[in-house]
Chain A
């Protein structure tokens, strides 16, 4: 096993285990915390895939932005003293069946498809130039629309969270 594989397995185990904690932990604070580690693990995998810009964006947006919002949501909507969250009452059997079907479908697709990929040759040192150019030329319209989406979301959130 070379270093690359070792690092991959470290981040993969971190991601999957903490994702499991998110779903199966009884304490919502621990769920939120585990999600933090999941996002960080995914960012590590991005670095391994030579996607440095996306990895940093993952840290900035998910870990530095969305997670903070989530933790605030948790703090504002739960009392620390009564940890009551249980999963048993919800229908576990149908859920398991659905999850099994979805995973089987994904696995069969993954195995049966012949992916037209080549081995990642050592690409240039950073992807940020390419991404910047594509965003301001070919994908300019989606880029602008994304900014409008953000503006509307901001206004909507401010309106919803306001008293009365």
Chain B
């Protein structure tokens, strides 16, 4: 019984990690192509057909570079920091359901690594760990630009964690459960949370951009003022880990946004069409992937369309706009639920 659980979980974990790492490689490619499109350039098109093998060349290049650690750096922490970043990014995916259960080899396999019944809290807890990777890398490099990047990022992430946590509360109130599978099941048909919780969606989306340090909130690594920010002193595979973590974070937060607000793996009324169960399951996984890809493209689109915020604007937005909005959203949702349920 427990051995079987361990075996199936291992298979699922391996598959999901492979999918995410490939996804990271190709979202980097997508980012470069889309930015080229937006800026009326061509972008990478030399390696393989239409440049499709470019990610492999990039990885090889990073692997073959020399790994430099500054002489005055605190070495163990300097090494540990990128690992923390990637660990947090990959662990979050464990509770995200990418489909309903599927019937294979005469047993039901749930398409989720772990159905934790407090899944949302798990995600929030792991997000709060993400600060460590960046802060510690900034501090341990012993470089003022790195330190500025690290300090900025911790202030930014702590500020936006609040509105992120509060904007989820509306969804929890609607569903009455903290399990992500329950939240997806509750969004049957067109009852997607983006329609029922528009304010919650917007605050969560903005907070997710800030938490993943993506533009327009990429102050921790703002190139014109901070060289490379927290990863100025990183090279070779350690830099690649940060790069990987950034894109993995983008993918993972896309899956979380899709799960919480865009109906997860639900295709409206698919279960009522009378298709064979295996086809339904596969279609649901496919729907999930399509939604996540759309979300990633949105992330990239925003990055190349909106200029970077100034630091004080960022803090004002976080504390004076997002936080009150999220709080108001909770109050309104609670009131509406109290009125309509009684």
Are chains A and B native binding partners rather than an unrelated pairing?
A: yes
Query: Measuring CB to CB, which residues of chain A are less than 8 angstroms from any residue of chain B?
Result: 3, 29, 33, 36, 52-53, 56-57, 59-60, 63-65, 68, 71-72, 75, 80-81, 125-126, 128
Minimum Cβ distance to chain A for residue B149 (Å): 14
Main secondary structure of the interface of A (DSSP, over half): helix
**8 A-B residue pairings within 8 Å (CB atoms):** A36-B132, A52-B117, A57-B121, A60-B121, A63-B129, A80-B142, A125-B117, A126-B118
Residues of B within 8 A of A36 (CB): 132
Report B121-151 residues with CB < 8 Å from chain A CB: 121-122, 124-126, 128-129, 131-132, 135-136, 139, 142
B74 contacts partner chain A, Cβ-Cβ < 8 Å: yes
Q: How far is the CA of A3 from the CA of B2 in the complex (A)?
A: 9
**A68-B131, A125-B117 are known contacts; what are 16 more A-B pairs with Cβ within 8 Å?**
A29-B74, A56-B122, A57-B121, A59-B128, A59-B129, A60-B128, A65-B128, A68-B135, A68-B154, A68-B158, A71-B136, A72-B154, A75-B139, A80-B72, A81-B72, A128-B117
User: Is B69 in contact with chain A by the CB < 8 A criterion?
Assistant: no
Which of B77, B117, B129, B178 contacts A33 (CB under 8 A)? Answer: B77
Asked if B129 and A52 make an inter-chain contact with CB atoms under 8 angstroms apart, the answer reads no
CA distance A126 to B119 in the complex (A): 11
Contact present for A53 and B118 (CB under 8 Å): yes
Q: How far, in Å, is A31 (CB) from chain B's closest CB?
A: 13
Q: Please give the distance in Å from B168's CB to the nearest CB on chain A.
A: 13
CA A52 to CA B118, docked complex, whole Å = 8
One of B2, B118, B128 near A63 (C-beta < 8 A): B128
Docked pose: A11 CA to B154 CA in angstroms: 28
On chain B, the residues within 8 Å of A63 by CB distance are 125, 128-129
Residues of A near B74 (CB, < 8 A) are: 29, 80
CA distance A104 to B131 in the complex (A): 40
A162 to B139 alpha-carbon distance, docked (Å): 23
Contacts of A128 in B (CB 8 A): 117-118, 178
